[in-house]
Structure 1
Amino acid sequence: MEHKHFFPPQDGVSLASLAAQIGAEVTDAGAGERVIRSVAPVYRARQGDICYILSRRSKEELKTCEASAILCDKALKSLIPEHIPVLLSSSPATAFARAGALLFPTALRPVPVTPTVSGVSSAAFVDKSARLEADVLVEPMAVIGADVEIGAGSRIGAGAVIGAGVRIGRGCTIAGGATIQSALIGNNVIIHNGARIGQDGFGYAPGPAGMLKIVQIGRVIIQDNVEIGANTTVDRGTMDDTVIGEGTKIDNLVQIGHNVRIGRHCGIVAQVGIAGSTTVGDGVMIGGACGVNGHITIGDGAQIAAMSGVLSDVPAGERYGGVPARPMKDFLKDVAAALSQSESRKQKSGKND
């Protein structure tokens, strides 16, 4: 099967037009009429494709590249083969993302499973008290409960369940199999397949007969332009709210505990677990498979390296890593010392043999 079976090449746009739309500069004026139809990685890009490089590590891949254009910054222009036109950009990754969005707009959101063009499928259940604005699409087997409100242009995917009283803003996509309850959702939010939003959090009190469940009567508030990945869970608050701030992007398979408050424009990568009542500031980046303790604060702009264990507060703007997470300089020193000790033991063992 060819690479582009699910997202075939587009009719195309001229290189000059594409450059203007993504804020890049075509260095070869004669190449402006070349037609760009798709995006591709450097090593297998062919005519009609555009690709990008960010470092000199792409030098070997350029040997097999036959792209119609390559995006890069000025410092890397000399690496590009002479037969390939260059698009200069101070932020080539951002420019490439814009190019991809222009060429494949339908790939930016989960696509409908059924050919329904608009309206509510006859195979869906929508409670009579639910209020849907214009141009809302509800796919087969979706269930929309009592007193739900859904804004114009939003889509509810096949098999999704929207619990009673939920509010969903305009231009949202709730993909197939997702479940949403006890939640208020802003505009232009994307929730991918199988996500679980608003179920009760993990709260118990020990008693003589075992663990007693603590009721979870808060909400989940998801602000505008948030994206939540497949099979991610966001628990509702115990008594207060769990909040996901504007523009934050959350990967697949992330666990957000009850009462967690995540700021604006954060990035949280797959398999992160954030325990209850933690506060995450604006612009925080958390690498994959991190565990974040409950009742702590991660300050604005902090960065947490992948596979770290965050046990205590992280100051704003700091880079932390390791288990337990600590300032990156300290973590790297500890790693270097451990490697040195390991090598020393190997050498001593070899001499003893």
Structure 2
Amino acid sequence: MKFPRVYTLKEIAQITNTEFIGDQNFPVKGINEIHVVEEGDVVFVDHPKYYDKALNSAATIVLINKTVECPKGKALLISDDPFRDFNKLSNYFKPFQKASNSISKSAIIGQNTIIQPNAFIGNNVVIGENCIIHPNVIIYDNCVIGNNVTIHAGSILGADAFYYKNRSTGFDKLISCGRVVIEDNVDIGALCTIDKGVTGDT
């Protein structure tokens, strides 16, 4: 997930209530999972087994639960619970938005697209031209649908990814802040589910 603007390391530390190592004006552009991180991304790590992988990844900001030497060209956020603080960032930049209509007023729907009865179109959804959205389809917030797409009855796009941390008190959910992106000329059958990415696009 990319932030709406470039934040500073100090600003992100204030949001997460963490200490930081590095230039307070170090640029922070978003958050991402370890396998898809880019320059400017925050990645979190909370297990010694994966410290080196995170510190040597493409991410330039590492949210970590140990004070370590900061790699050149990077910055650190020191947290007693990186999982929790990564969730803080997801909640801050992509808070849950209550629906007020079955088709959100913020949704953008292209020309000649047909929305059948009882479909739900969430906030900030973009649907292209010449699409057919059949009854009882649910399209969660922030999904992007291309042109000439048909989604058959009962399918669900954009539900949360399945990512949990097993704690002594129970399972703790990693909040999903990614999207589902469907390209042009796609048919999706009935009763399909396509979950959004934890931080990126599905």
Q: Which has the larger radius of gyration?
A: 1
TM-score if structure 2 supplies the norm length? 0.48
TM-score if structure 1 supplies the norm length? 0.30
